Amino acid sequence: MSDINQNNNNEEYEEATVSMTLEDGTELECDVVAIFPVDGKDYIALLPDKVIDGYEENEVFLYRYTELEGEDIKLEPIDDEEEYEAVADAFDELLDEEEFNELDEE
C-alpha cells in the first residue's frame, strides 16, 4: 500500500513523499507536488524519483486521494476521461497560480 512520509516533520506537501508499488511490483518513491480538491473529492499530484518506462521525465501522476487512519493513504486511479481532464486542468491552474505568486514576490 501507499503511505505518506513527512520529511523534516513539515506540513508542507513539498516536503512529503509517497511510497507506492506499481502493478509490476516495482517500488517507487514519489514527491508530493500538491493535494487539491476538485468537485468535492481530493486528488494528489506525484512526481516519481526516477524515470519509468513508457513515461516522460518529470511526468506528474494524478490520483484520487483519501486519508485513512494513521498515516496511511489510499490512491485510486482516475479511469474516467472527463474526471481526469477536470483534475488535470485544476492542477495546471495550481501551477499557473504558483508561478504568478512567485513572479509577484520578486
Cell of 28: 517507487
Identity of the amino acid at 4: I
Q: Smallest Cα–Cα separation from 76: which of 20, 33, 17? A: 20
Cell of 98: 504558483
72: which DSSP letter? B
Identity of the amino acid at 38: V
- pTM of the entire structure? 0.77
CA distance 94 to 88: 10
The residue segments making up the domain with residue 61 are 3-105
CA-to-CA dists, residue 19 to 30, 75, 88, 102, angstroms: 6, 11, 22, 29
Domains: count for the chain: 1
Label residue 13 by pLDDT band (50, 70, 90): low
**What is the pLDDT at residue 48?**
92
Label residue 103 by pLDDT band (50, 70, 90): low
* pLDDT tens digits along 29-61: 999 999 999 999 999 999 998 877 777 788 899
